[in-house]
Amino acid sequence: MKRDFKMRLTKNDKKDLDKFTKFLALKATEVIVQSRLGEKVSTPCKPHANGPDWFNLNINDLPEVVIEAKKVLNSELLLTRKFPFCIEISLRTAEGDNMVLETWCARLLPEQCDPSTTNSQTIYNRMGILLKSLVSVTRVTPAYKLSRRQGPDSYVMCYRMYMDEPLHHCLGEGSKQIRVGQICTPIGTLQLSCAYRTKMTISPTQTSRDNSIMLKSDHFNTNLSPKNRRYSQSDDRTSSLSETMKIGAFADRKKKHFEEPQLDLPFCTFFADRISLNDHQVDSEPQSLATSPENDRLSGNGVPEESPLRGEGEKNGNDVAVEGGKQQEEVSMASTGDDFIMVDLKTPFAKPSGEKMELTKFFREWQQAPLLETFKDLPPVEVTDLQKQLETYESDMQEFDSIVSSFCQQSSPNNN
């Protein structure tokens, strides 16, 4: 049946069909490539044009695309080829990584032919519809949105044409396929389809064509990357820092030990902890930090900047501890709150030891100004204030409620 029909297909019809198919492939290439340039396309209607455009559709011709497409098609007709014609769209990052996003594929299925369609004009019109479908579909695949956001600093879109079976494995796992459309012709069904990537995570080892190059390169070896190195180098410090933060001023275990003479010594818990850690005596004698000869030795040698701090703190601490009582405890709690995490207080370019550090001293003095005699006997101000405030708030409760409800009323019409 098929053979009979093919014989009935006139030479002219066959020639027309060949020509239509070739131009369909060329125009489809233009549509696909231009849709990935990153710009909106707008071509005018030409109601009074002299010569008709192919498929009565105004598709711009980019010369370089035509040249590339013709190279691949190479004046050989799509119909005589066994292999499909593919256009591959890929993304190339500024770093040079490639990721294939989609493969558009035009193929002829000779086994499915339609002997009834002999009119070449009908085929031509259907090709026009197929091209329109292609224009519509190119705007809705994921690569379109990516192409609109491309730039030389981030990534650019690239295209490649080839005559072969489409390389679907390049599209990664979970790739999807769209059948744009097909045209039944006397010599077979012409089919246009697109397979596209759905997982957009770029992974150099996955997408690189030549794995050996990537394997040689240590650039992507996470163990050797500078970022990782930096972290591994600072591992000790971060762990010690986190330890210090964990055993903070509010930790119950430590609180008891530091309540007495060093309460007003800001950050004293931090220093104490560091010392204890270094000394492997976390729980043994933190209480004796300020006075024990062991800690003196450590402050003098290992952590030189702590020695002046300790002296200052001790002085202030004595003053306060004798005079203050409960109130002072609050002061110290506030000063060692979460707002500050100062571990080392090592000023840049400071001399390592011996001399007192002016900046640190100044900071301590400023923060730990001694309480003036006048205010010692006053009742705690905060308590009375709080009570008063609570009372006023309670009395004004209705007013607050009305304000809130008025806000609700105002916002609800806007939502609609």
Positions in the binding site for other proteins (CB under 8 A)? 40-49, 52-53, 56-58, 114, 126, 129-130, 132-133, 135-137, 139-140, 144-145, 148, 178-184, 415-416
Nearest residue (CB) to other proteins, 120 versus 208? 120
Grouping H, G, I as helix, E, B as strand and the rest as coil, residue 379 is coil
**Residue pair 357/308 in contact by the 8 Å Cβ criterion:** yes
Nearest residue (CB) to other proteins, 63 versus 413? 413
What single-letter amino acid sits at 138?
T
> Min. distance of Cβ 377 from other proteins in angstroms?
54
Count Cβ neighbours within 10 Å for each residue of 338-355 and write b for 16 or more, e otherwise.
eeeeeeebeeeeeeeeee
> Min. distance of Cβ 76 from other proteins in angstroms?
26
* Dihedral angle of Cα 275, 277, 280, 283, to the nearest 10 degrees: 90
Cβ neighbours of residue 75 under 8 Å, at least 6 residues apart? none
> Min. distance of Cβ 77 from other proteins in angstroms?
22
**Region of residue 140 (left: phi > 0; alpha: psi -120 to 50; beta: else):** alpha
Q: What is the DSSP string of 18-32?
A: HHHHHHHHHHHHHHH
> Min. distance of Cβ 21 from other proteins in angstroms?
16
Q: What CA–CA distance (Å, rounded) separates 36 from 150?
A: 9
Nearest residue (CB) to other proteins, 193 versus 269? 193
Nearest residue (CB) to other proteins, 52 versus 348? 52
> Min. distance of Cβ 363 from other proteins in angstroms?
44
Nearest residue (CB) to other proteins, 52 versus 352? 52
> Min. distance of Cβ 270 from other proteins in angstroms?
40
Nearest residue (CB) to other proteins, 49 versus 213? 49
Count other Cβ atoms within 10 Å, centred on residue 272: 24
